[in-house]
Amino acid sequence: METMDAILSRRSIRQYTGEKVTEAELKTILAAAEASPSGMDEYENTVMTVIEKPALLEKIDQAAKAAAEKSGNADKNPLYQAPTFILVSGKKPDAESANLIFSNAAIVVENMALAATDLGVGCCHIWGVVEIIDHDPSLLNDLDLPEGFIPCCGLIVGKTNDQYTKREIPLDRIKCTRIK
Ligand SMILES: Cc1cc2nc3c(=O)[nH]c(=O)nc-3n(C[C@H](O)[C@H](O)[C@H](O)COP(=O)(O)O)c2cc1C
């Protein structure tokens, strides 16, 4: 797939068969993550956690559902029963570079999303559960992140019966001004 085809075909997939992507596909997706640019070349400040353990995925799902119920939004299915959730975390920054870890993490996730699209496997950016994980000491303990790292964003991946097709994207949905 050409780069622009992958970009225009990517969309959020929220239906999964339950089957994991193959090891080779996961390797390609993670290789795309590794190819991401990173602010000040500080790759050591980003870590990925590939969560495939059904009990942990279920625990995250339940924690998110409980939080959603509290906010009156009970029918959410936060991880869409996807068999793999790749969480990207960053080293908690000092005040001057507060946004950098989130920019780094977002790029990692989008690179993986484009690779998943290219492979024809399902993927969806996930932020909803990240905030929940961040405030749940038990989940943070299960994730065993390096000291001082916080979850930033993530991507679910898995086999799907949905198809990617190139989309017409409106060219004005993100406002853009030019300064010449
Ligand atoms: C940073 C970020 C976080 C997102 N978090 C979620 C999420 O938690 N759950 C979800 O279903 N979709 C999530 N999405 C997907 C967006 O809803 C989706 O990208 C947007 O509606 C555009 O649709 P498309 O991805 O199909 O083009 C997220 C997207 C981004 C970029």
* 95-126 residue pLDDT tens: 777 789 999 999 999 999 999 999 999 999 99
Cα torsion 135, 63, 76, 57 to 10°: value is 110
pLDDT of 75 higher than 60: no
Q: How far apart are CA 31 and CA 54, in angstroms?
A: 24
Q: What predicted TM-score, i.e. pTM, was given to this entire model?
A: 0.96
Mean pLDDT of 28-47: 97
79 within ligand 1 shell (Cβ under 6 A): no
Cβ of residue 12 lying under 6 Å from some atom of ligand 1? yes
- The residue among 4, 8, 18, 33 whose CA lies nearest residue 122 is 18
CA dihedral of residues 121, 15, 111, 64 (deg, nearest 10)? -140
Q: Helix (H, G, I), strand (E, B), or coil: what is residue 59?
A: helix
Q: Is 112 in the pocket of ligand 1 (CB under 6 A)?
A: no
Q: Using one digit for the tens of pLDDT, what is the confidence trace for 157-172?
A: 999 999 999 999 999 9
All structural domains of the chain: 3-158 (3.40.109.10)
